[in-house]
Structure 1
Amino acid sequence: MIVRRPAVRAASALAACVTVLLAAGCSSGGGGAPATGASTSVSPSPGRSADRSDVPPAKGSVTVVRTVTEGLKSPWGLAPLPDGSGLLVSSRDEGTITRVDTRTGKKTEVGAVPGVAAAGEGGLLGLALSPSYASDHMVYAYFTTASDNRVARMLYDPRKPAGEQLGAPDTVFKGIPKGVIHNGGRIAFGPDGLLYVGTGETHRGRFAQDKKSTGGKILRLTPDGQPAPGNPFGDSSPVYSYGHRNVEGLAWDKDKRLWASEFGQDTWDELNLIVPGGDYGWPVVEGKAGKAGYRDPVAQWRPADASPSGIAYAKGSVWMAALRGRRLWRVPLDGRKVAHAPQAFLTGRYGRLRTVVAAGGDRLWLTTSETDTRGTPRKGDDRLLELRVS
């Protein structure tokens, strides 16, 4: 029987070093630390060579270019505006969306999303811009209500006064199970123009294996919220993959492969390569089990070193923001596999890290998450950072 981890994991004085297929040293340093607590599949994909020019080097780097702004409250979703002038940031607990000017750091409240019922890990979570944003100016949001988790879209009109720039929500998908914990919440439009939705099993593991439930899944929808044509369980099912515990990170690599981060329980947090119809094992297995019928993660971490939320793809690597781990992980890829040992950066420097988004080229946007009730806020928290990575 699997014993579920409580909402707040017990702190560990020293994370264990794990050696699985790879010797990984221990380090308490903040930048470029070896893969403490991480286990990866590091052998190159068939037909690939580890010295190919498109495989990232073993060692990367992270430079904090600047703090863009401070004083954000429980930031969660992050959506860059296409003209590069700003970012939309959701506040989980306040149910508001704020525009941050990326040049000056000025914050302007766009508006509040009606119906948000913030409690525990629920509230106003992921944001995404419509693939037709240039013509429709629609912002999509995943949020918790009194009865469920749902996705709605709203017109964003920056010409209106501050606080009144959001139109009324148009719910495109509802009925996702809600709970005090494990609400998922990451949404993103894929290269195919379809909406992908990461959900949680709300601490009820049976939902993850029930393909009729939308809890513990990655959903694939049209922009209007209908099950996407070609979904693996029929055109009437929104389910794209299942057997997930709590998905809070979605990103695509240069070859349009979908990656997802996932909270484990007491043993392993995961980075998964998502395939249509894949069963990722929860609650039957956690981490790499090698069990027939279940998809093993590509990389895994001890929860003290990870508890992953958002992920982004840049410079040939997946970058993963860690909450409990209080660090940014770099996972260099070689096709479908991990090319080299993951590296940890910014360890303990900014506290809990929630969302990371590609900003083009070698740049990332990163938000901290010290005001989410589980951190230890300092003056200036929470922050939006600009990073340069390699």
Structure 2
Amino acid sequence: MIYLDYQATTPLAPEALAAMLPWLESQHANPHSAHALGRAAKAAVEVAREQVADLMPEGGAVSFTSGATEALNWAIKGTSGPIVTLATEHAAVLDTVEAEARSGRQVAIVPVGSDGLPDFPALRAAIRPGTGLVTAMLVNNEIGVIQPVAQIAALARAAGAVFLCDAVQGYGRELIPDECDLVAISAHKIHGPKGIGALWIRDGIDIEPLMHGGGQERSGRSGTLSPALCAGFGAAAQLAKQRFGADHAHAEQLFRAALAHVAVDWQLNGSRDERYHGNLNLRRPGLDVARLMSELRDVAFSAGSACASGSGRPSHVLRAIGLSDAQAKSSIRLGFGRYTSEEELIAALDRINHAARAQKVSA
């Protein structure tokens, strides 16, 4: 199997697994217990917290969550006032914002251009004094476009608003801008375990808890933490920091090799320049993506966002950049990174190209 679905999830790093195993095999204490075993578990959680925070700006703290979806819900629902966001945000943001709108909160969803970057005149008009929250992704999960987060955050700050960055696809891969107030991340996108994420909260920013109970996290988030998941997240973050330059260079090399290898009748979705290079979102006129995936069962890639795959609906991101339903449905997403070799990527592209050409011949 050739795995090319890194935006959906990444392979677990051996170092992350090794950090988790002791807490799964023999060290079972609750990190919120006061006895010696509990204190040892808490110490492991705090080490992991610092490892995760090392990839964040200065002047804030990490609160662990069950994943990025919880972190984003918490950040959005824990703030107040009108919300401004972009049309290409993840469903975890857009659906939460829609729920807030049904409760009476004012919402503005700003369009993007064909490159996936925001319409800045519309954004400036939407972010007005009195705006409570502005939220934007660092790296788009479907088309890989890197948003000008620092500029958007500056607009938010000038209006007195809090800025939330969905950095799930960018954390450990791109630098997190210092201007952020809230940052949501997930372990399994950086070769850590599934089931844990975090919300980084800038000092001085207060948000209401989403989950009530024991208030185990200093920010008020309730729930018993898993030392195993925290340790795996911390180890993955530490490795991402150590390998930041090497991972970045490897993704760039894979991207260049892939672009040079795809046939001329494939088109790149989203900006070519302002993007994370571990994402290749391509479309080919008339392509039957479901048939392509069926014929290439030993190549793992996506027909769009993994969160929307199987829904039968065209990607809202691809529609937001101006593609028709037919164009959106003829698009595929290839995601690659640290553990992808250039040889297997090229081999997969050869097979994808061959199968796509065969569809055209048989049509």
TM range (shorter): under 0.3
Q: Which has the higher contact order (CA 8 A, sep 6+)?
A: 2
Bigger strand share: 1
**TM-score with structure 2 length normalisation?**
0.27
Structure number with larger C-alpha Rg? 2
Bigger helix share: 2
